Amino acid sequence: MSRIADFGYCFGKRVFSISKNLVMHIERRDFLSTLTMASAATLFSGNPLLASLAPKKEKLGIALVGLGYYSTDLLAPALQLTEKCYLAGIVTGTPEKAQTWKAKYKIPEKNIYNYQNFDKIADNPDIDIVYVVLPPSMHREFVVRAAKAGKHVFCEKPMAPSVADCEAMISACKTNKVKLAIGYRCQHDPNIQAYMKVAKEKKFGKVMMVNSAAGYLDNRTTHWKQNKKLGGGVMGDMGVYALQGARLATGEEPVSVTALASTTRPQIYNQVEETMMFMLDFPSGARAACQTSFGINMNHLQINYEKGWLKMEPHSGYSGNKGSMSDGTIINYPIQNQQAKQMDEDCLAIISGSELIAPGEEGLRDIRVVEAIYKSVETGKNVKI
Amino acid sequence: MSRIADFGYCFGKRVFSISKNLVMHIERRDFLSTLTMASAATLFSGNPLLASLAPKKEKLGIALVGLGYYSTDLLAPALQLTEKCYLAGIVTGTPEKAQTWKAKYKIPEKNIYNYQNFDKIADNPDIDIVYVVLPPSMHREFVVRAAKAGKHVFCEKPMAPSVADCEAMISACKTNKVKLAIGYRCQHDPNIQAYMKVAKEKKFGKVMMVNSAAGYLDNRTTHWKQNKKLGGGVMGDMGVYALQGARLATGEEPVSVTALASTTRPQIYNQVEETMMFMLDFPSGARAACQTSFGINMNHLQINYEKGWLKMEPHSGYSGNKGSMSDGTIINYPIQNQQAKQMDEDCLAIISGSELIAPGEEGLRDIRVVEAIYKSVETGKNVKI
């Protein structure tokens, strides 16, 4: 009863979904009759029994926080393709952007927020999920505020600049009984799942060595990626893909790391690293050599097992990830839109109350290693994780 | 005149090729009439003018020192295919092996030596070249003894366990005016030369990142490769291929290295490392991540340039090295026998007095890095080279 009590009561003609900072008012008539009404799924999420009984909301409303390149060029277009969610609102610090988006995507004025009035989103039943697409240094604040507003949260990678931030974000979402998914596209990609499966099923025996590289030539100079205070540096950005290449290829968490940071463009990369190379040890004895850079176009993964190999190129691209194995197996699943697939699957998990593919804990696993990598660079030594 | 004087005098009916420990007697009649006579090429090598005038010896006589697997299964068969040299003699500590080889390859008794009487090879005109195929710890001794015997020297890789050894070997060969070639197959392979050329000609701009791995599962337990005193450890053996992948791909010498040694079979690898991972920095800003292991089957190379990529797999095998480039170019030159090509080309360089493809100095370049790698493992830090 206590779990049910956490999630909602029928009370006369209204249903109150009660959590610490969330009171949603839903007309009973609407509650029973419509599948598109906001918060119905939210109301029942987290409780499998209730979820199975609850009317399913077909499309959850997403509010994008931060309207930079990734929101503009990738998430918003993807949200035109999604089946389980739609672009319901925006949160931006730039009024001009608000007007452009409002017109382009027919977003109601009431679903447009700025960073100051953002917390009022708690009262907006159109918004089920807040997707935080801000610079990493702002993730903690906005994830916590979204959680306190009773909204489920999607958070872009890197999850945050520190383990402490990640833990605070996970804790806030738990306390407020909302889900937290990290915007990891790759784990939703069947091409990536294919090599994760090889490790899990030990198709070629144990994983012995992984080579994983992810980078691109970034010619911007004043983006958050070049700014330390905003959570920049290649390690959290592209580096997480190189790291995931190793983590997902082994199915293990590394126990130690040795890392080297460097730059060939010190005039630009004077606050954060342009390139990071790191070597990981895993509990099974598997090892990985990973490289990431804002100065090098590269995206490849090679896994050498006891009795074979698997290679991917690209392995963490927005599209076209593909690979082959030593037994002749080809990995080449076409995906219409990675971001749409990611958001749809995360929404489905929220609607059905099932496990998220990449919850906050998965983001934390990466940041734990990222933090150790920076410590290794700082000390010039191998660092236990 | 002094150079000519170093190499030989016509003296009545005889030609004396004089260096510190070498006096070769050659009938003048034979000297003028035959092309297969031993030492004629030796006599004129090192002086382009004399070399061009000298009668060319078509086939130089090689004596293999050490009749282990590599001599038995690879070099001796290759010497049945060579056009510029032939198996003229053997040096072994095992009388039974001597008898087997004598019968199999019709080696005259006078061309068979043991480690004690080896120095008498100085008086044997059949032997132009001594090929040292012993455990690395014995390379210095036998290269120096061969040089003192006035013979050109081929030395298997790794050249020696230390830079000091390499320098002593180079010095001894210089002093005795004989050539020293390292038994590097790869530099003779047109598939490897293809990617060396890409770096040299900057076909895709600067080299940015190299991934290079070379290893195999070695299940032997008491070979010199597992024995520290004999110069074992994977780094000098397979590691040199991983290292060369980076050196030849960049066309540069690394300036610093960070390395990690490890083993998953401590019961076997308790004296030397089973696996070595290392990261290299090059003067141009290029970087490399290399891995080598006696526990992992792997042999791949990926080069990421400013404007493209090149990948090889295998990149340092005995045969079948092949690759592709981002512009669609395929690298796939068939080679009948790598070792035969290596020995023929080295002999041709000796006969013609031209530069060796992989002289002692090239071996030294690798060992200088290998020494820094061990220092990095010992100190746990990045080491300048």
pLDDT recorded at residue B377: 97
Q: What is the pLDDT along chain B (385 residues), one digit of tens a residue?
A: 333 333 332 333 333 333 333 333 333 333 333 333 434 444 444 444 544 454 556 799 999 999 999 999 999 999 999 999 999 999 999 999 999 999 999 999 999 999 999 999 999 999 999 999 999 999 999 999 999 999 999 999 999 999 999 999 999 999 999 999 999 999 999 999 999 999 999 999 999 999 999 999 999 999 999 999 999 999 999 999 999 999 999 999 999 999 999 999 999 999 999 999 999 999 999 999 999 999 999 999 999 999 999 999 999 999 999 999 999 999 999 998 999 999 999 999 999 999 999 999 999 999 999 999 999 999 999 999 9
User: What does the CA dihedral A166, A170, A175, A178 come to, rounded to 10 degrees?
Assistant: 130
DSSP symbol at A12: T
Residue B329: closest CA among B198, B189, B196: B198
Q: How far is Cα A195 from Cα A249, in angstroms, rounded to an integer?
A: 6
The burial of A96, by beta-carbon neighbours within 10 Å (0-12 exposed, 13-18 middle, 19 or more buried), is given as exposed
B138 touching A, CB under 8 A? no
Q: Concatenated DSSP letters for B82-93?
A: -SSEEEEEEE-S
Is residue A261 within 8 angstroms of chain B, CB to CB?
no
pLDDT of residue B24: 38
Q: Is A241 a catalytic residue?
A: yes
Judge whether B241 counts as a catalytic residue.
yes
- Write out the two tokens for A342: 């990611």
Q: What is the pLDDT of residue B56?
A: 59
Report the distance separating Cα B108 and Cα B246, nearest Å: 43
What mean pLDDT, rounded, does chain A reach? 89
pLDDT at A288: 98
- Per-residue pLDDT, B58: 79
First to last CA, chain B: 40
Cα–chain center distance at B54: 27
Q: Which of B208, B277, B285 has the CB atom closest to A287's CB atom?
A: B277
Which of A260, A281, A302 lies at the smallest CB-CB distance from B258?
Answer: A260
pLDDT at residue A58, rounded to an integer: 80
B285: left (phi over 0), alpha (psi -120 to 50) or beta: left
User: What's the pLDDT at A242?
Assistant: 98
The dihedral of CA B239, B240, B244, B245: what is its sign? negative
Cβ contact, residue pair A291, B291, below 8 Å? no
Output phi, psi for A24, to 5 deg: -110, 135
pLDDT tens across A166-187, in order?
Answer: 999 999 999 999 999 999 999 9
Q: Give yes or no for A296 touching B (CB within 8 A).
A: yes
- Strand order, beta sheet including B85-91: B112-113, B85-91, B60-65, B129-132, B152-155, B180-182
DSSP A380: T
In order along chain A (385 residues), what is the average pLDDT of each group of 10 residues?
31 33 35 39 48 65 97 98 98 97 98 98 98 98 98 98 98 98 97 97 98 97 94 97 98 98 95 97 98 98 98 95 98 95 98 97 98 97 97
Record the tokens describing residue A20, joined without a space.
């610490």
Rounded CA-CA distance A242/A211 in Å is: 9
CA–CA distance, B104 with A42 (Å, rounded to integer): 83
Q: What angle do CA B337, B343, B347 make, to 5 degrees?
A: 145
Of A262, A279, A304, the CB nearest to B287: A262
d(C-alpha B191, C-alpha B310), whole Å: 12
Query: β-strand A152-155 against B180-182: which pairing, if any?
Result: unpaired
CB contact under 8 A, A296 and B208: yes
> Does the CB of A300 have a partner CB in chain B at under 8 Å?
yes
Q: Strand order of the sheet with strand B207-217?
A: B330-331, B323-325, B308-312, B295-305, B207-217, B287-293, B275-281, B256-262, B383-384
3-state helix, strand, coil split of chain A in percent (to 5) is 35, 25, 35
Instruction: Spell B292-324 as b/e; 16+ CB within 10 A means b.
Output: bbbbbbbbbbbbbbeebbbbbbbbbbeeebbbe
Instruction: Spell out the residues 6+ positions from residue A222 whose beta carbon is closer than 8 angstroms to its own.
Output: none
- Residue B219 forms contact with A (CB below 8 Å): no
Identity of the amino acid at A20: K
What domains are defined for chain A? 2-53 (no CATH), 60-185+342-360 (3.40.50.720), 186-334 (3.30.360.10)
Helix (H, G, I), strand (E, B) or coil at A368: helix
The pLDDT of residue B19? 34
pLDDT at B281: 98
